[in-house]
């Protein structure tokens, strides 16, 4: 299937792709807010939002800090805890995981959106 036409059909995400590539990296580990802060301090982070019914939304590397502060921080849930959507602004949250791609110098942080 053409990568440009693919959408996320279920979570947790099994494969990650860009419009120009069929597969980008593999899931490495679940992330906490502290893990993401550490990754941001260490270097470039590339955020990707995975939302059922939509293509993965890749956030520009130049926008990663603003995106982290404004969007991710208030909506980040702990992956090991029970999610209560009413505890988050606008009744949605993200579960974060780190994905690795050999050709990328940036850390890829996938944010699976639950609503």
Render each residue's pLDDT in the chain as its tens digit; 115 residues.
565 678 999 999 999 998 877 778 789 999 999 999 999 999 888 999 999 999 999 999 999 999 999 999 999 998 777 899 999 999 999 999 999 876 667 789 999 999 9
Instruction: State the pLDDT at residue 12.
Output: 93
Q: Which residues pair with 108 in a beta bridge?
A: 46, 99
**Prediction pTM value:** 0.91
The answer to whether the bond into 12 is cis (omega within 30° of 0) is: yes
User: Under DSSP, is residue 49 helix (H, G, I), strand (E, B) or coil?
Assistant: strand
Strands 57-58 and 107-114: what pairing?
unpaired
């Amino acid at each position: 299937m053409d990568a440009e036409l693919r959408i996320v059909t279920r979570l947790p995400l099994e494969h990650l792709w860009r419009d120009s590539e069929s597969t980008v990296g593999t899931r490495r580990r679940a992330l906490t807010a502290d893990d993401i802060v550490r990754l941001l301090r260490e270097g470039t982070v590339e955020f990707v939002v995975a939302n059922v019914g939509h293509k993965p939304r890749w956030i520009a590397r130049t926008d990663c800090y603003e995106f982290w502060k404004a969007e991710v921080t208030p909506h980040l849930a702990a992956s090991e805890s029970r999610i209560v959507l009413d505890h988050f602004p606008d009744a949605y949250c993200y579960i974060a995981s780190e994905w690795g791609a050999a050709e990328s110098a940036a850390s890829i942080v996938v944010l699976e959106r639950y609503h």
